[in-house]
Structure 1
Amino acid sequence: MKLIECPRDAMQGLPDFIPTATKTAYLNALLQVGFDTLDFGSFVSPKAIPQLRDTAEVLAGLDLSQTSTKLLAIVANLRGAETAAQHPEIAYLGFPLSVSETFQRRNTNQTTAQALADVAAMHNLCERTGKKLVAYLSMGFGNPYGDAWSPEIVTDFTEHLAALGVPIVALSDTVGASSADTIAPLFSALIPAFPNIEFGAHLHTTPTTWREKVTAAYDAGCRRFDGAIGGIGGCPMAADELTGNMATENLLAFLAERGVDTGLDMAAFGSAREAAAGVFATH
């Protein structure tokens, strides 16, 4: 079981800038919990995501000496990937490859064809620099734009990523469009069909639908889940109304019910939740 904590996703759409020192202290608290990966920041245009314009400064302040947690940074194009790859502390580069052409243009100002070319170049860059690429199939369960969506389309994208050798693919419910009826068949089909790919679930949800979504993904074989403490966040490029991330505390409650030992330091998790309350209280 791999749990990926996503403070980057929680912070990115907030209108008021969180001071660099506050971000850094919060991330350092999260690094003590024992998550597999921390999605900590992004190397994207500060005009697009002003909240994360200080990612390099935050990275410089992180204490990685007492943690096994690996760092993931989101990038929106090859230039951002090249910048992120210069930082040896970062293990993963994440790129949002959209099943929706409309959202690809909104999110990274590219066509799908351009994004796929960037994915190939990013994967090569990761192999040269000892990192791994995580491809997020955004709008992976449908979109609000009227663009075509079907399980076959998602499979076609996955086949392309598999041919490139991309090691990790996270199906992303960017606007909370998924249901158990779409989640379960996708994971059930893709996981056995692409044994060389590690599949993840990046689910956005509401307080009343989280359980059915995580249950569907878990029972279909997914063992990599993204979450954010408090269920805060969402993609500011996707819609005017943000649909929150999967709340980490809900994920942990579900896994406890299933008897799964996450290996997390729950005292440190409690401290991180207290820190989150302070970070996000006025935002």
Structure 2
Amino acid sequence: MRIPFRGAPAAPLDPALVAPMSTPARPELTGGRRIGVLVQHGFTGNPVSMRPWAEDLASRGYAVEMPLLPGHGTRWQDLNRVGWSDWVATVEAAHDKLAAENDAVVAVGLSMGGALCLRLAADRGESLAGVCVVNPAVDTLRKDVRALPVLKHLVPAMPGIANDIKKPGADEHGYPMTPLKAAASMFAGYAELRRDLPRITVPVLFFRSAEDHVVDISSSRALNARLSSKDFEERVLEDSYHVATLDHDAPRIFAESAEFIERVTAAPK
């Protein structure tokens, strides 16, 4: 049996490149209401994949909290020291900060970041106005995932999933490897989330790339089948791969998510 790549030491990413983002609300641009948006990157990624979206939201007057998840933005080996509960806690902390400082909060996320936003909606939906997700991962058709509980003890990592982007020259600066202990924790978290999807009743806007080489159609099927939200819409992106926030459809995501946020955070009449 040939053992997969075990991973040589990797140069850390530039801290300035992957830095979190925190901006205050500008209620003069949002009808006098202070609106917060939690922006969350995905597995093996970092804020690079979400920064253009976060900056667009900030320019519209929204308070933005874009945290760097534990184990990300440094070396891929660091990711094997943390797991799903650490990432959930980070998202909850960012949400709590926004909720304390603003009149309404929306969560937006990519891939695992989308799953974490949905986890937040299942657990704290009463304090969320809505969720917007791009290619969220909550399930998979891959059979090899079943081997992760054993494989994670034998192999530290497998080849990475970064830069599934159709647009030439785009780079999310993700890890070159997929750490298996972290991946096993992530998929266990997805299983818990799937069971709890019926608890999500807040508005959900779901963008899905027609061609995605990371997240397959099973996640879309799970959301369509199990969400309890009466305000749920799936929109297909025809010109982007997985990291659509850096791809050809990014301007559409920015514009349509802003319309969604404005609608779900509007003051009651």
Q: Same fold (TM over 0.5)?
A: no
TM-score (normalizing by structure 1): 0.36
Point out the structure with the larger helix share: 1
TM-score (normalizing by structure 2): 0.37
